Amino acid sequence: MDLQSIKNRFGIIGNAPALNHALNTAVQVAATDLTVLIVGESGVGKEVFSQIIHALSSRKHNPFIAVNCGAIPEGTIDSELFGHEKGAFTGAVDSRKGYFETVSGGTIFLDEIGEMPLGTQARLLRVLETGEFIRVGSSKVQKTDVRVIAATNRELLEFTQKGRFREDLYYRLSTVPIRVPSLRDRKEDVLLLFRKFVVDFSERYKTAPVQLDEEAKQILINYRWQGNVRELKNIAEQISVLSTNPQISATVLKNFLPEKNRNSLPVLANHPTGSNDFSNEREILYKLFFDMKKDVTELKKMFLEILQNPTLAGSAANFTRDSILNDFHSNGELTNSINSNNSNASSAIQPAYINQTSSPNSQPMIITEDSIHHHEEIEESLNIMDKEKELIVKALKKHKGKRRDASLDLGISERTLYRKLKEYDIDE
């Protein structure tokens, strides 16, 4: 089957090279049983690619099911995918088959795979590796023959580095990756899609198809389309229904486009005047944290130099607390906020710097290694799983091992807490 026939069959419009490459990859991999990972922004049509792969495979006469992992609650997704036994949890009045059991021999499309809980990811990996699964509440191992096609609008590789997605599962899923291009990466297809949509809507609503003037066409092409094809279809439907004149000018078109997304050009972070102001508060905070870390590092170096060369202690003792604060914040951005914590700052700095204003004849205090506690910088872990485990351990200690009280304090169910204890191998 040639590429154009596939486009006609599945309603795909466009001739962009990136789109054709993605379609060719889908056609080539369809005849195999390889696992496929479809990557693309929301609204680009990832599910259509999964349907193409299934329809052109040897499983085309067997079931196909699409599952949105982000739409299923964490407490029930294992039951939905793998089934459960009667009495496995509250409300399980009967045994139930999961998707991997009912779709055996066919294809299962796991959309938004990045939203899948870590525990379910481990179960899915076992299915992909061995074709085996266990129902919730059962100990019996069952076999299934299902082809898995996954899709995501996130960068899963970044999720693996943050501990939110299993690295082994990522590489198992991405045997054949297919990247579906966004609409702004296939601008030559925008007008083709818009024309198709307005014709369809004119037939549905019994109206004349709208037409764009040249300026309106350029606006449509240069629009950001953050919602991709789905957003373009919505705009076409709005214009077809609400416009009183079939001739659409640039002025009329702008009324249907959100103003914040009309300009596709990047925004400069700095002002044209050359000032160092940042475009948003987050960047300001990042700069602030980096500056503070640099200042603290310099202070540590000075302490070490004093320890190694005690004669430097005399010159260090001439610094007062105010001069240190001014040196730390010479740009004046944080002086007010630090002075407001006067007592804390004083207690933190006083042991290292001795003000000699009390007596002109007094000798400088020699700072020795015994007078300063050994300091070792420890990088705090930012791993979400580590933090979650730490909170669970604290809650159990606080409530003396009582799971019910600990789960209430953590804001999770007792069943979820039990699962987390097993997952993190926490010894009560």
pLDDT at site 113? 96
Where are any strands of DSSP class E within 84-239?
Answer: 107-111, 132-134, 141-143, 147-152, 176-179, 211-212
pLDDT at site 415? 80
Query: What pairs with residue 132 in β-bridges?
Result: 143
pLDDT at site 79? 94
Q: Helix (H, G, I), strand (E, B), or coil: what is residue 357? A: coil
User: What is the distance between the alpha carbons of residues 71 and 374, in angstroms, rounded to a whole number?
Assistant: 51
Third-level CATH fold of 184-261: Helicase, Ruva Protein; domain 3 (1.10.8)
User: What is the distance between the alpha carbons of residues 107 and 65, in angstroms, rounded to a whole number?
Assistant: 7
pLDDT at site 282? 55
Helix (H) or strand (E) holding 234: helix 228-242
pLDDT at site 399? 85
pLDDT at site 315? 53
pLDDT at site 372? 44
User: DSSP state, 137?
Assistant: T
pLDDT tens-digit map of 222-271? 999 999 999 999 999 999 999 889 999 999 999 999 876 555 434 434 44
Stretches in the chain below the pLDDT threshold 50: 264-279, 319-321, 324-325, 328, 330-362, 364-367, 369, 371-377
What are the φ/ψ torsions at residue 134 (nearest 5 degrees)?
Answer: -130, 130
User: What is the distance between the alpha carbons of residues 229 and 235, in angstroms, rounded to a whole number?
Assistant: 10
Third-level CATH fold of 384-424: Arc Repressor Mutant, subunit A (1.10.10)
Domain chopping of the chain, boundaries: 3-181, 184-261, 281-371, 384-424
Q: What is the DSSP string of 298-314?
A: HHHHHHHHHHH-GGGHH
pLDDT tens-digit map of 286-306? 566 666 767 777 777 777 777
- Alpha carbon separation from 186 to 7, 8, 193, 224, 413 (Å, rounded): 16, 18, 11, 11, 47
Instruction: Return the CATH number of the domain spanning residue range 3-181.
Output: 3.40.50.300
Q: How many CB atoms lie within 10 A of CB 43?
A: 19
Q: Please report the sign of the dihedral spanned by the C-alpha atoms of residue 82, residue 88, residue 90, residue 95.
A: positive
The amino acid at residue 268 is L
Instruction: State if pTM tops 0.75.
Output: no
